[in-house]
Structure 1
Amino acid sequence: MWLRRAVKELDSAWFDATNNMMTTADARKILFEELLWSTGISLRHTATIPEASVEALRTHLAAAQEEKDQLIRQHQEDLSAQRAISKELKDQLIQLGLDHSKALKAAQAIAEAKLDEALEDASNSNVVLQAELEEAAKARKAAEDKAARLEAEQKEYDLLVTQTDALAFRLFPDSQAHAVKKFGERRVAQAYENLGAPWDPYDHLVAEQFPMLP
């Protein structure tokens, strides 16, 4: 847009300068023609003008005509020079616009390439992260399943220990008092905080290790 505006302004300036010079030349041409015409009438109707004055007038008119021709030639030369300068400036502006457009396209291509690369890297990172999250979720699920299985097995084992100790008490009722005594002594030796706390499955397992009778 700015290149078109600059070229248009250059054309307008060149046109104005050319028009001004042509207007000046045309005005001086009309003035010279009127002067020649009026001089011709004066020469035809005045027979008393001295020959020297007529010759001087002719010399003056010839000089004026020469000045007019010189002005026209100079004007043509100036126009030619101005056309050459205008053409050179136009070419420079057009080339500048082409270079600017080329540089802009190159910059846009580089920016688009970097954006595509960044998007691809982000996409790859998302894929890797998603895979890692899926693996972590699988590992967590496996750990939770294993913990649940171990907890269930521990409950079954604790129940089995408790049932075994109860069976031993039924089979050997006289040994229960001895086991309770030994277990109490063990709690005292270990500085157990609550000596009268109910037995848990582990306590039953430990009690089974004591001799049935003293």
Structure 2
Amino acid sequence: MIGRLVMTMLVLVVAVPAWARAEPINLKMLSNYSRATFKTDAPLETVVGNTAGPAVTGNLTVDPFKPGTASGTIKVDLTTLNTGVAKRDADMQGPQYLDIAANEANKFAVFEIKSIEMAGPLEPGKEVPAKVKGILTIKQKPVETVADARVTYIKLTPEQVEAQKRFGFASENIKVRSKLGTTFSNHGITIPQLMFLKLSNEIAIETDLTFAKQ
């Protein structure tokens, strides 16, 4: 009887895919393959600021079979945002907006992941929609928010790892594309009245982030 039970358990373990027996993995953002965009859409002007590379950093811890318990941090250096107008970029760092001279910490936008909601486990090669709950901090003013995301879990074979490791990729990688919104006023920033037609209070944020197992 005991022998039969042991055999049954072994069969069940073997039948479960290896990815479904996963434990939490620690991943580091590959900055060279990650970017962030901040956009405001005002009546007279749409302002889009882009940044990528070393300005976008972060880490992620997730169990592919239980992604709901994921945690991590994404940090963006706002001084590197390029809107195409140098004076506007410089003004955004001034006392009216980020006021970086007052505190160096004001230069960062930080998103702290608290949990992820999705229909099931992450499956290799399959993109799944998700709701990422977290805290967004800009100018040291935190607000709770939820990002709409698409998450792809990518597993590489040993041969693929050998070919891709020089680019930073590993046996397990995760791609996260997300959208979320906030406002200047959420973070203690008041838009000057003269700028109302050219700068919206609403901020749309988009990220395209790549993480690799450490």
Q: Larger % of strand: which?
A: 2
Tell me, yes or no, whether TM beats 0.5: no
Structure ranking higher on relative contact order (CA contacts 8 Å, 6+ apart)? 2
Alignment TM-score, normalising by the size of structure 2: 0.23
Alignment TM-score, normalising by the size of structure 1: 0.23
Q: Larger % of helix: which?
A: 1
